[in-house]
A and B are shown apart, each in its own frame.
Chain A
Amino acid sequence: MEVLITHYKRCDVLSIIGRVDSYTAPQFQEETKKITDAGKYKLVFDLSKLEFLSSAGLRVLIVTQKECKRYNRGEVLLADVPPKIYSSLELAGFTELFQIHKTVVDAVATF
């Protein structure tokens, strides 16, 4: 798994590439924590190249969303979600907790 980060004026885009499972989720958590520890809470997760997402990865999403939404200081938006990943998000009830945008450009424009 790889996390590529692009910094924009109003938000940061994290492209998550490959598999997020119990082996790689700690690395995913570490990368997102670095961003929030730097005081950046408006995040777009580009999931277009995410091949697999387990409950360990869902755990990182929920922890990061809670951190970003605290004090109304920001939010995690999801973008370009592959159908199979969307199914997992839906199954876990996450589609109610995250704004999901068709493209990264749409999501970035929200901030």
Chain B
Amino acid sequence: MSLSTYNFPGRYSSLSEIAEIVKEKSSEAGLQEDSIYSVECAVDEACSNIIEHAYQGEDKGEILVELEVFAEGIKIRLIDHGIQFQPEKIGNPDLKAPLSKRKPSGLGLFMMRKCMDKVSFDFSPGTNILTMIKYRDTPCCTDLDSNQES
């Protein structure tokens, strides 16, 4: 098991740098190419949400990224000090809606949930903690019942 911790400025230009580290550690965890891409997607969406919703803009705070490679896969914790995120208030997008009724936003959280095996949100005063797990040998963008949120 190995734990790596990084601190990034909460701005969109940090995303590509975060992605490089996430890909490297996911590969180290033994994930396959499609699963590595899923993790990259989930982390990108999560960090974008932190900047847009928790910090309400760029350069308002930092994002702490913890990557833990363990025997079965990789665990990622993203910690910010912005406004409390309320995932229960965000519904799933209507993927069957015709083009005219399709909303251009609202896919981020949905993609995070689909791309990872476990997604959970924890809060303490002034701190949001998002934990996501991807196991080895699970298909990309899974529909597994184990996709949980708490």
Contact = CB atoms under 8 A, between A and B. Distances in A.
Interface of A: 19, 21-23, 52, 54-56, 58-59, 62-63, 65-66, 69, 83-84, 87-88, 90-93, 96-97
Contacts of A63: 104
Chain B interface size, under 10 / 10 to 19 / 20 to 34 / 35 or more = 20 to 34
Contacts of B40: 52
Contacts of B96: 93, 96
The main secondary structure of chain A at its interface with chain B is helix
Contacts of A87: 34, 37, 140-141
A22 B107 CA distance: 13
A26 to B, nearest CB: 9
Q: Please list the 8 inter-chain residue pairs (A to B) with the smallest Cβ-Cβ separation, ordered nearest first.
A: A93-B95, A23-B12, A55-B107, A22-B48, A84-B37, A59-B104, A22-B12, A55-B108
A91 B114 contact: yes
The main secondary structure of chain B at its interface with chain A is helix
Contacts, number: 76
Contacts of A83: 34
Interface stretch (B13-21, B67-75, B81-89): B13-21
B15 A23 contact: yes
Contacts of A84: 33-34, 37, 140
A93 to B, nearest CB: 3
B1 interface: no
Interface string B93-104: 101100110101
